[in-house]
Chain A
Amino acid sequence: NAGVTQTPKFQVLKTGQSMTLQCAQDMNHNSMYWYRQDPGMGLRLIYYSASEGTTDKGEVPNGYNVSRLNKREFSLRLESAAPSQTSVYFCASSDPTPRSTFGSGTRLTVV
């Protein structure tokens, strides 16, 4: 099925640990995004990539890094996790219209 695939779906980290959230899309979209969702705050953009080889900061980039590995894949890395990064993370990609397709999310808890 065409769409956006995120892994893992759930993760528990200890403060200070690192991890990478993976995202892949098979719709040949140029643009890809990482959002975090927190109660009462909607979805906030962490980083985005307008095309392969380019990345830009969004609204809340601190504590995160990204890699646009190729056109399909866009990963989000937490180098030293903090409790404030407990959230649900969504990856998305969009076509030029623009119309976005979202992954099913990664629920991350940092203890």
Chain B
Amino acid sequence: AQSVTQPDIHITVSEGASLELRCNYSYGATPYLFWYVQSPGQGLQLLLKYFSGDTLVQGIKGFEAEFKRSQSSFNLRKPSVHWSDAAEYFCAVVRVQGAQKLVFGQGTRLTINP
């Protein structure tokens, strides 16, 4: 079955520390890949996306993600987190062909220690 897995339900990091959130997908072919962020009580905001080309993509708020085909992964990174980065992060995929339905991972809740 096609799926998206975010292995870490909850991550806590200190302000100023680096961050990596993991995402793995299981699809027959490389899908389109996305990371969304959701602040408490808010909707979802697109951080970045990968469609093709350069496997390192830059997004908003200083985030980047690297697509690794051999590992079926699309991990999100940030060199130095800020208290405002505390939120829930969702990895999502869309099949390249057929109905364009977003399939989400379970989400990773990020807590920032001062």
Q: Give A residues with C-beta under 8 Å from B.
A: 31, 33, 35, 40-45, 48, 50, 56, 58, 90, 92, 94, 97-100, 102-105
Contact = CB atoms under 8 A, between A and B. Distances in A.
Interface of A is mostly: strand
A43 B104 contact: yes
B100 A98 contact: yes
A108 to B, nearest CB: 14
A99 B43 contact: no
Given A42-B106, A104-B43, A105-B42, 10 more contacts: A40-B9, A42-B104, A42-B105, A45-B103, A48-B99, A50-B100, A90-B43, A92-B102, A97-B51, A98-B32
A92 B90 CA distance: 15
B43 A31 contact: no
B94 interface: yes
Task: Give the interface size bracket for B toward A.
Answer: 20 to 34
A103 B101 contact: no
B25 to A, nearest CB: 13
A94 B94 CA distance: 11
A94 B34 CA distance: 13
Nearest to B100: A98
A100 B43 contact: no
A100 B99 CA distance: 13
Contact of B90 (A40, A42, A97, A99): A42
A33 B101 contact: yes
A104 B101 contact: no
Contacts of A97: 51
